[in-house]
Amino acid sequence: MINDKNSDGDDGNDTDSHDTDDTRDSGADNCTENGQDYALDYMESFAKMQAKLFENMSPMMEQFSPDTFSADTMQKTMQTMFDPSKMMDPNAWTMTKGMMGTEGLSELWSGWTQAMSGDLDQSNSKNRDKRFAHEAWEKNPFYAYLQQQYLYLSTQADAWLEQQDNISDKEKEQLKFQLAQFFDAASPSNFMFSNPEIIEKAIETKGESLQKGLQNAANDMSKGQLTHTDPDAFELGVNIAMTPGKVVHETPLYQLIQYDPMTKDQLATPLVIFPPWINRYYILDLNPQKSFVKWALEQGITVFMVSWKSADSSMANVIWDDYVKAEIDAIDTICGGLNVDAVHAIGYCVAGTTLNAALAVLHSRGEQGKVKSATFFTTQVDFEDGGDLKAFTTDAHVKILDAASSKGYLDGRVMAATFNMLRSKDLIWNYVVNNYLLGNDYPAFDLLHWNGDTTNLPAAWHKSYINDLYRENLLVIPNRLTVDGTPIDLRRIKTPAYIQAGIEDHIAPAKSVWKLRNHLSGPVRFTLAGSGHIAGVVNHPDAQKYQYWRNDAEGLNSLDDFIAGATETKGSWWPDWFDWLKDQDDTMVPAKGARIAGKGDLPVLEDAPGRYVRMR
């Protein structure tokens, strides 16, 4: 059986939730006439309550350290501070009663009074949520109550939302995401005066940790981006993106890298990799221990990589057609330069979506033989179940993106913030606490360095991508879209395909990636990998991490059908892919002549990783 839970189990919440249908206040129905407005109003009021809470706590925190927060001192100094009926304005109090019901409020009140008397049952504090790992969250009644209050409220909000039948499923998904963002931000672990670890370290360092954290925050504010890793730890071509190769072709949109061979003989059919232009290509070449590029070379594959140019104002009118034509141009360049009839092609995420369009164009033009096989990493073509990113495709978000693209491109920092929000607990608030409030040093982590190495996006392309694919889902409607004057019909594609999805992928959910199978007419192998959008792809066999699942039975109609009969294999799926690739054509040729950059018709322009990857 496949388990899609995160391995760290960071959803620990032992607080009981209560069914309050029969105990809701009579005013609740009026509050829920418009479920979305009601919940957003509640979030605003709860935020005001939290602000008042921390404002009231400030003078108290100046007098006590975590060790002095005994039940006696709390009872004397906080007798009314956490009384919910006094903390909230009347409207917020009414909404809280409507959402939680009398029984739920009784639970909160009971916990508060128990904390004040020192009798709080702290067994519920023992959870696997790493935000509350410090021992004071369990041993100190005050912090144990804060934690339990927070977890209980977030659980009740989720339960309340699931019970609403007056909003559409689409609105419910968007509101679920918004609630998750709110509660990730509202965690007591995110604030100095309600996190015992922050207070403890500030006392131990005599305030030095706070000073260092303020400097970290000031640095991030000046560059307009959250820092995740030591900015001086990595240098392109030195200890990251360091596999030897040459740039052999350049256009205004991309550079083409040909890597040096690592075996005496190579597969006759070369491989071209199209990475997403939303990030830098070197996610597939982080370091020798993680590099897909290096591993593929070691298997005897001639590898080419496309390095996309980060957009500037000159690319304001670049549209999807240009990216499709760029992929076809790269295929033609390799075929001509190596004097071969076809290539194997890999498309990752948005570049995989684009590869589908390119294949449809080639099939329509009778040129499908140029691609012997196509591999799709975490690729969607049907965006009906497009994942958490759909929360950023509403009318309001589109207006924001339009305003942010006034120079003809969307600043990469905007997209970085968007992706961080998809996992805000881990990629935003974790770093706010560790680096701003605790003043910790940044780690040297190559994956996080890549994550923060942003690229700008052409405004015209980005707007059409959101509207045509995420909002209108036009790619799966035959001939509804055209590229370079050619109608796109994915059903024409008969190229053998290998489709990889990540079981924990929140950007391109496995359920959505699965649907690609339904739109292709050629033979398909579908592989479900452990982990998510990045780690599920970048999983070197030597790491011996995760697992993958295969199910080659006929008549599978859904991902659930696939999972029900899937066979699990421990470790990386890369060797399975390579075996499949050799099944398409295992002819070998000597690694000489044009197989070495500069020895054939393709000129050497510069050393890898090239100029484009360094452009900001």
Give the residue from 298, 13, 9 showing the smallest Cα distance to 157. Answer: 13
Instruction: State the pairing for strand pair 497-502/371-377.
Output: parallel
Residue 349 is among the residues annotated as catalytic for this protein: yes
Whether the upstream peptide bond of residue 609 has omega within 30° of 0, thus cis, is yes
Give the residue from 70, 63, 55 showing the smallest Cα distance to 143. Answer: 70
Q: Give me the catalytic one of 349, 355, 427, 538.
A: 349
The DSSP annotation for 546-592 comes to -EEEE---TT--SHHHHHHT-EEEES-SHHHHHHHHHHH---EEES-
**What residues contact 576, with CB distance under 8 A and at least 6 apart?**
527, 548, 550, 569
Give the residue from 488, 554, 561, 483 showing the smallest Cα distance to 519. Answer: 488
Contact status, residue 550 vs residue 500, Cβ threshold 8 Å: no
For residue 317, the SS3 value is coil
3-state secondary structure 405-445: CCCCEECHHHHHHHHHHHCHHHHHHHHHHHHHHCCCCCCCC
Structural tokens at position 225: 């981006």
**What region does 303 belong to: left with phi over 0, alpha with psi -120 to 50, or beta?**
beta
Rounded to whole angstroms, the Cα distance separating 201 from 594 reads 60
Structural tokens at position 9: 């189990």
SS3 content of the chain, % helix, strand, coil (to 5): 50, 10, 40
H/E stretch holding 489: none
Contact status, residue 503 vs residue 528, Cβ threshold 8 Å: yes
Contact status, residue 608 vs residue 245, Cβ threshold 8 Å: yes
DSSP summary character for residue 373: E
Residues with a catalytic annotation lie at: 349
